[in-house]
Structures are given as C-alpha cells and as structure tokens.
Structure 1
Amino acid sequence: MCSRIQRRIRSWVSVRWATRCILLIRSRVRINGQNDRLKPTRRGREAKQVSGERPISRLEALRFARRVVAQQAAAALAQLDGWIAAEERREAEQRQGEAMRPSPPDWLIQYGLNRGNVDAVHIGDCWAAAKSGRCRAATREQALDALRRQVPPCVHCRPDSALGVLD
C-alpha cells in the first residue's frame, strides 16, 4: 500500500524531481519517539500529526525512486520503439513507391498551348521540359521524326546531338 506522498510522486513526470522530492520530504518530516510521521506543512508552519502511517526510510525511498525510474524508462523505450516502427513503415512505403514508379522517358516532345503544334524536342531529364509542364513522352522514332519536320531542339539539353541528327 502506497502512502499519499508516494502516490503524488508517481504522478510526477521527472525522475529527478521525484528523487529530490523524496529526499526533501524525508528532511522536512520530523519523527517522534513512537515512529509516527508528522505531516509536513507549507511555508514552515508547525507540522501536524498523521497517525497510522509509518515513516519512509531512506532505503524505501530509494527503492521507490528506482521503480519510478524503471517505469519511466520502460515507457520511454516503448515510445521510442513506436517511433522507430513508424519510421520503418514510412521508409518501406517510400522504397515501395520508388520501385513502383515508372522509369522516366528517354525523349519528350513539348506541345504548345493548343496541344496541336509541337514546340520543342527534349531529352527525358531536361530541366526545361520539367518546368514547362506541357511535355509528353515520346519514342526515339517520334523524336527523330519531329526533328526531321523542323521542330526546334531544346537549346539546353541538345537532343539533336544525342540522337545523332546534326544540321
């Protein structure tokens, strides 16, 4: 059976504060010759007699502090294990998403605003094509055909050089 002081201390979060409180309580509680505990009061007023409770020895206080530390350590480890499991799930989902992502196309054709006329030919990883947002994937033959029809190549990625078509 726990005393009132021990129940209060269990509700505290910090182990350091629990240990300090136990030691503070031990120093503030005066014990008379009959081993009765005197209830500590606030602001240095006279202590009141509390009958029926035995005093906490230093060894009991240390064992209690050890139990508090063990409970908090177990709770902290459980919380860390939960965080680790969540991070492992997130990384596994990310790896799975990257594995399922289709490979980028080798060639891109950039269309105009009306989607009818062709504006440029790009290599698949061109930054200008990604920035425009009006590109569609194309095969090598489609890219060559577009260059033969006088569609201008991108000046940044130079697909005409990569395709071997030089003017």
Structure 2
Amino acid sequence: MSDLPPDLPRLRTLETWLQLSLDRIRQQITAEEQRLAAEAARRDPLPTPGWLIEHGIGVGRAPVRVHAGGCWDTRSRCKPADRDTARRALAEGVEACTHCRPDTALGVLD
C-alpha cells in the first residue's frame, strides 16, 4: 500500500510542490557555495610576487620602475615579474625604486 494519493491531479500537485522545493534548495546551495568562495578569497589572498615592474601611462606603456614584491610605493600600473625579467629590466636602464632597492636585492648595481 502506497502513502501517495491514487489520483493523477493530486500526484501532479505533489510533483509541482517537490520541484519547487528542489529549486529553492538548489538556489540556497548555490548561494551558500558563493558565500563560502568569497569568504575563502578574503581569507587566502594571492601571494605577493617577488618583483614588480611599474609601467608608464599612455600608448606603449613602457616600464618605468622596478620594485621588490612587498614595496609600499607601488602603483596600480605594476605587473608581477620573475627574477630574470626584473634583472633584465634593470640592466636595460629601467629605474630601480629608491625605497625597496630591488637593484641591491638582485645584485644589479651601477
């Protein structure tokens, strides 16, 4: 003996109610997953790059300054760089930051 109603209209009503309930549950799951992902992103910031190259303003945006990764004097125009790229930029005449002295840390002195 089944605990479900025997007639089609009531079965369809139950089906609709269950579908709506399942949709609400899935929406809640999605919202919770997004909340947890945002929380994890705040908790686990991206690692600081070892070196940064600051670019100028305008067309071409040539490199203007090299910084160590944790320098406080960086601007929004900085891009991460690896050790070799930072050394090459300094060797090509790009200015070293006077605060963090990446030229000293990289062993590239004039």
| TM-score normalized with structure 2 length | 0.59
Aligned match for 1:111, one of 48, 55, 63: 55
**Structure 2: which 5+ residue stretches go unaligned?**
1-35
1:104: Cα distance to partner?
Answer: 1.1
* Deviation string, structure 1 residues 102-152 (Cα, Å, up to 9, x no partner): 2111100000002521110000111111xx211000011110000010101
- Partner Cα distance (1:123, 1:151) in 2: 14
The CA RMSD over aligned residues, in Å, is 2.0
Instruction: Confirm whether residue 125 of structure 1 aligns to residue 78 of structure 2.
Output: no
Q: Is the radius of gyration larger for structure 1 or structure 2?
A: 1
Runs of 4+ with >6 A deviation: 92-95
Looking at both structures, which has the greater relative contact order when contacts are Cα pairs under 8 Å and sequence separation is at least 6? 2
Deviation per residue, 1:53-105 (Å, 9 max, x gap): xxxxxxxxxxxxxxxxxxxxxxxxxxxxxxxxxxxxxxx87872245432111
Q: How many residues align?
A: 74
* Paired-residue identity, %: 41
Partner of 1:139: 82
Partner residue of 1:158? 101
Alignment gaps of 5+ in structure 1: 1-91
Distance 1:123 1:98 in 2: 23
Structure 2 counterpart of 1:97, which letter? A
